[in-house]
């Protein structure tokens, strides 16, 4: 019998691969974190980026809005808050509302706050995966495959390693999907608008829904974003909001500071910036490719007959066109893996097989980002672009059959 991907990678074998991958990555994490104190075995602060969020929450608790967008001032405040971490410096880009929402964590010690944050993210991630799995009827026979694949998913792994906020973005996207599935555009808009704390993740959705004139959705997004920003404005006042907008408008000047590891980014912008040594040309190629992605995305949604595939194209486009997309943000692709797997699991066509190949390959490719330091080629971006294009073909085929 001819060996193909479809008959070689069976559900039991996929489960085994997921178990092995999960065991490897989480064993390394557990070993690294097992030493007592604030620092891991590599001498780095536990939680990585969470130290910044702990600082932001402490600023809010102490009503120090004057330091929210003062990098040097924040560093000095951190050295007083946590003297052991006095050498850490973070670029202040988050909206003021984020510090207010994180302020309850400031009541705890750093390690207590980190533990609470990681537990919260893990619980919310599990809820998101379970909610999506319940919607995926063809995946119902494979619960343990889904469970172990979710545990092994690199986006979730990096979310925990970095102690980041991308899990909240995943919640927004999952809630938006569930609302669209129930045909509640306004509620979907509220979920999408809540992404204002990570505005780069809302660019693709904003362009798409404006182009397709989804006015209920747009109104919900505007209301949610406005309400969230008003939290920071009411708490800190107009001066802090003005400094926030000024920081966002000038973010291009400091892009090199908040992207110290471009090989850990997975978007078209950094794909071309690593591949092409001429910055101006790399930027032009990024803009052209992003425009093509957005054009294809809009066409997909205008002819879409199946939400699962269309929503997957939105999330893939979100990652591809984002001007700043770090490895932990890949957690927002969880719906793509579940929804597309549900679409193709029972299919044997060429395109369905290609989708299976790409979903399978993206697990190691998301972990292999550091190899781009040597190759200057982020293969994960190539694979996501291919998956996006094949998803577009699936939508076109279904539209032609209707």
17 vs 178: CA distance, rounded Å: 30
64 vs 382: CA distance, rounded Å: 44
pLDDT score for 290 = 97
Q: What is the pLDDT of residues 23-40, one digit of tens each?
A: 999 999 999 999 999 999
Confidence of residue 255 (pLDDT cuts 50, 70, 90): low
373 vs 267: CA distance, rounded Å: 15
Range name among 89-98, 170-179, 182-191, 232-241 with the lowest pLDDT average:
89-98
Higher per-residue pLDDT: 10 or 79? 79
Confidence of residue 398 (pLDDT cuts 50, 70, 90): confident
Mean pLDDT (whole number) for 168-180: 97
Q: Which of 170-184, 293-307, 383-397 has the highest mean pLDDT?
A: 170-184
pLDDT score for 201 = 95
Give the distance, in angstroms, between the CA of residue 221 and the centroid of all CA atoms in the same chain: 19
Mean pLDDT (whole number) for 276-298: 95
Q: What is the pLDDT of residues 209-243, one digit of tens each?
A: 999 999 999 999 999 999 999 999 999 999 999 99
Would the pLDDT of 338 be above 50? yes
Determine the 3-state secondary structure of 126 from DSSP: helix
Mean pLDDT (whole number) for 182-193: 96
Give the distance, in angstroms, between the CA of residue 229 and the centroid of all CA atoms in the same chain: 21
Average pLDDT, the chain: 91
**Which residues touch 364 (CB under 8 Å, ≥6 apart)?**
none
The closest alpha carbon to 313, from 330, 293, 292, belongs to: 293
Mean pLDDT (whole number) for 58-72: 91
Mean pLDDT (whole number) for 270-291: 94
Would the pLDDT of 3 be above 60? no
Spatial contact of 196 and 68, defined as CB atoms under 8 Å apart: no
Percent of the chain exceeding pLDDT 90 equals 74
397 vs 217: CA distance, rounded Å: 27
Give the distance, in angstroms, between the CA of residue 198 and the centroid of all CA atoms in the same chain: 9
208 vs 189: CA distance, rounded Å: 12
């Amino acid at each position: 019998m001819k060996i193909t991907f479809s008959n070689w990678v069976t559900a039991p074998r996929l489960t085994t691969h997921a178990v092995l991958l999960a065991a490897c990555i989480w064993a390394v994490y557990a070993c690294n974190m097992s030493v007592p104190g604030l620092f891991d075995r590599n001498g780095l602060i536990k939680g990585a980026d969470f130290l910044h969020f702990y600082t932001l929450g402490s600023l809010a608790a102490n009503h120090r809005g004057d330091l929210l967008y003062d990098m040097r001032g924040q560093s000095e405040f951190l050295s007083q808050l946590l003297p052991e971490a006095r050498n850490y410096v973070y670029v202040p880009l988050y909206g003021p509302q984020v510090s207010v929402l994180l302020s309850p964590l400031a009541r705890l010690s750093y390690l207590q706050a980190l533990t609470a944050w990681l537990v919260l993210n893990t619980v919310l991630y599990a809820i998101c995966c379970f909610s999506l799995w319940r919607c995926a009827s063809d995946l119902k026979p494979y619960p343990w495959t889904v469970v172990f694949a979710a545990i092994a998913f690199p986006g979730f792994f990096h979310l925990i390693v970095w102690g980041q906020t991308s899990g909240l973005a995943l919640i927004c996207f999952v809630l938006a999907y569930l609302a669209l599935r129930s045909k509640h555009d306004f509620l979907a808009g509220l979920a999408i608008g809540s992404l204002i704390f990570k505005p780069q993740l809302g660019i693709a959705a904003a362009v798409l829904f404006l182009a397709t004139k989804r006015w209920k959705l747009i109104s919900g997004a505007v209301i949610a974003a406005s309400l969230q920003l008003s939290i920071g404005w009411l708490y800190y006042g107009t001066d802090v909001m003005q400094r926030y907008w000024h920081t966002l408008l000038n973010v291009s000047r400091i892009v090199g500071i908040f992207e110290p590891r471009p090989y850990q980014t997975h978007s078209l912008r950094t794909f071309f910036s690593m591949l092409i040594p001429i910055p101006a040309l790399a930027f032009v190629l990024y803009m052209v490719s992003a425009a093509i992605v957005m054009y294809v995305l809009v066409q997909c949604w205008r002819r879409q007959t199946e939400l699962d595939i269309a929503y997957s194209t939105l999330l893939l486009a979100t990652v591809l066109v984002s001007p700043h997309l770090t490895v932990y943000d890949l957690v927002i692709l969880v719906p793509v893996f579940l929804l597309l797997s549900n679409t193709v699991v029972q299919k044997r066509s060429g395109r369905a097989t290609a989708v299976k190949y790409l979903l399978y390959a993206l697990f190691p490719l998301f972990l292999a980002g550091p190899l781009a330091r040597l190759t200057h080629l982020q293969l994960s971006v190539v694979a996501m672009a291919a998956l996006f294009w094949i998803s577009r073909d699936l939508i076109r085929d279904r539209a032609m059959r209707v």
